[in-house]
Chains A and B, each alone.
Chain A
Amino acid sequence: MSAIADDRPGSAIDIEALRKRLAHGGEIWRSLDEIAGTAEFRRFVEAEFPTIAEHLPAKPSRRTLLKLMGASLSLAGLAACSRAESIVPYVRQPEILIPGKPVYYATTLSGDGFGIGAIVESHEGRPTKVEGNPDHPASRGATDAVMQAAVLTLFDPDRSRTPLKDGRPASYGDFLKDMAALVSRWAASQGQGGALLVEATTSPTLAAQLDALKARYPRLKIYRHDPLATPAAHTLFGSPLAPIYRFDRAETIVSLDADFLGEGPGRLAYARDFAARRRVRDPSDRMSRLYAVESTPTITGAAADHRLAIKPSEVESVAAGLNAALTGQAGESGSPIDQAWMRALVDDLSAAGRNALVIAGSHQSAFVQATALSVNAKLGALGNTVELIEPPDALQVDGDLAALCEAIGHGAIDTVAVLGANPLHTAPTRLDVRKAFSSLKLLVHHGLYRDETAFLAHWHVPAVHELESWSDIRAYDGTASLVQPLIKPLYDGKSMHELLAVLGGEFETDPLSLVRQHWAALDDDGWKKALRDGIVSKSAARPVSVTVPQDLGGLRPKAKAGNGIEIRFVADPWLRDGRFANASWLQELPRPLTKIVWGNAALVSPATAERLKIGNGEVINIASNGADIDAPAWIVPGHPDETITLSFGFGRKVGSVAALSEGYDAFHLRRGSEWVATGVAIARHNSSMRVITTQQHQAMEGRAIVRHAPLEAFRQDPHFVRKDAPPSPKETLYPGWRYDQEAWAMAIDLSACIGCMACVSACQAENNIAPVGPEECERGHEMHWLRVDRYYAGPLDAPETFFQPVPCMHCEKAPCEVVCPVNATVHTHDGLNAQVYNRCIGTRYCSQNCPYKVRRFNFLDHQSFDKDEAGPEQGVHNPNVSVRSRGVMEKCTYCVQRISAKRIQAQIENRDIADGEVVTACQQACPTQAITFGDRNKKDAKVVREKSAPQNYALLEELNTRPRTTYLGKISNPNGRLAKPSEAIDG
Chain B
Amino acid sequence: MPQIFSKNANGVARFVIWGSCAVLLIAAAIGIILPRSDLLTGVGEPLAQPVPFSHKHHVGQLGIDCRYCHNGVETSSSAGLPATEVCMTCHSQLFTNADMLAPVRASLASGKPIEWQRVNSVPDFVFFNHAIHINKGVACETCHGEVDQMPLTMRAHTLNMEWCLGCHRNPGPNLRPPQDVLMMHWQPPANIDEIRRQLIGVLDIHPETMTDCYVCHR
Contacts and interface: CB of A to CB of B under 8 A. Distances in A.
Interface in B104-148: 107-108, 111-118, 121-125, 127, 129-132, 135-136
A828 interface: yes
Given A832-B214, A907-B132, A89 B208 contact: no
A101 B127 contact: no
A896 B78 contact: no
B155 to A, nearest CB: 9
B214 A896 contact: yes
A878 B190 CA distance: 46
A828 B76 contact: no
Given A78-B124, A92-B84, A834 B204 contact: no
Contacts of A81: 40-41
A688 B168 CA distance: 60
B217 A92 contact: no
B208 to A, nearest CB: 7
A829 B209 contact: yes
Contacts of B121: 76, 82-83, 85
B72 interface: yes
Contact of B118 (A86, A741, A837, A882): A86
Contacts of A832: 214
B81 A89 contact: yes
A94 to B, nearest CB: 9
A604 B212 CA distance: 52
B85 A93 contact: yes
B72 A87 contact: no
B47 A828 contact: no
Interface in B88-113: 107-108, 111-113
B19 interface: no
A78 B215 CA distance: 20
Contact of B77 (A73, A77, A100, A907): A100
B124 A882 contact: yes
B71 A907 contact: no
A910 to B, nearest CB: 6
Interface string A857-896: 0000000000000000000000011110000000001001
A838 interface: yes
A836 interface: yes
Nearest to B71: A98
A904 B131 contact: yes
B82 interface: yes
B44 interface: no
Interface residues of A, number: 48
B75 A101 contact: yes
Q: Which of A830, A893, A908 has the most CB of B within 10 A?
A: A908
Contacts of A882: 124-125, 217-218
B32 interface: no
A677 B85 CA distance: 66
B44 to A, nearest CB: 13
- Residue of B111, B130, B208, B218 contacting most chain A CB atoms (<10 Å): B218
Contacts of B84: 89-92
B83 A90 contact: yes
A908 B214 contact: no
A429 interface: no
Contacts of A908: 131-132, 135
B21 interface: no
Residue among A83, A101, A828, A838 with max Cβ neighbours from chain B (10 Å): A83
Interface string A314-358: 000000000000000000000000000000000000000000000
A900 B111 contact: no
A263 B42 CA distance: 59
A17 interface: no
Interface string A98-119: 1111000000000000000000
Contact of A88 (B71, B115, B131, B206): B115
A826 interface: yes
B85 A900 contact: no
A93 B85 CA distance: 8
A903 to B, nearest CB: 9
Contacts of B136: 907
Contact of B113 (A90, A828, A839, A896): A90
Contacts of B215: 900
Given A90-B113, A91-B107, A900 B127 contact: yes
Interface string A910-923: 10000000000000
Nearest to B35: A81
B17 interface: no
B82 A89 contact: yes
A64 interface: no
B129 to A, nearest CB: 6
A826 B209 CA distance: 13
Contact of B213 (A84, A92, A828, A881): A828
B72 A100 contact: yes
Contact of B218 (A83, A101, A896): A896
Contacts of B42: 83
Nearest to B119: A83
Contacts of A79: 123
B80 interface: yes
Instruction: Kindly name the residue among B82, B112, B213 whose own CB sees the greatest number of chain A CB atoms within 10 A.
Output: B213
Contacts of B86: 93
Interface string B178-218: 00000000000000000000000001101011001111011
Nearest to A73: B124
B217 A72 contact: no
A80 interface: yes
Given A85-B117, A92-B85, A829-B208, A880 B127 contact: yes
A98 B42 CA distance: 29
A884 to B, nearest CB: 9
Contacts of B218: 880-882, 893, 896-897, 900
B83 A93 contact: yes
Contact of B206 (A87, A741, A834): A741
B114 A89 contact: yes
Nearest to B85: A92
A101 B75 CA distance: 8
B33 to A, nearest CB: 16
Interface in A813-857: 826, 828-830, 832, 834, 836-839
A828 B209 CA distance: 8
A91 B111 contact: yes
Given A92-B84, A100-B80, A908-B132, A86 B72 contact: no
A830 B111 CA distance: 47
Given A89-B82, A741-B206, A882-B217, 10 more contacts: A78-B124, A83-B121, A89-B113, A93-B86, A98-B72, A829-B208, A880-B127, A897-B127, A904-B132, A910-B203
11 contacts: A89-B84, A98-B80, A99-B72, A101-B72, A826-B212, A828-B212, A882-B125, A900-B127, A904-B131, A907-B132, A908-B131
The 6 closest A-B pairs by CB, nearest first: A100-B78, A80-B123, A100-B76, A89-B81, A93-B83, A100-B77
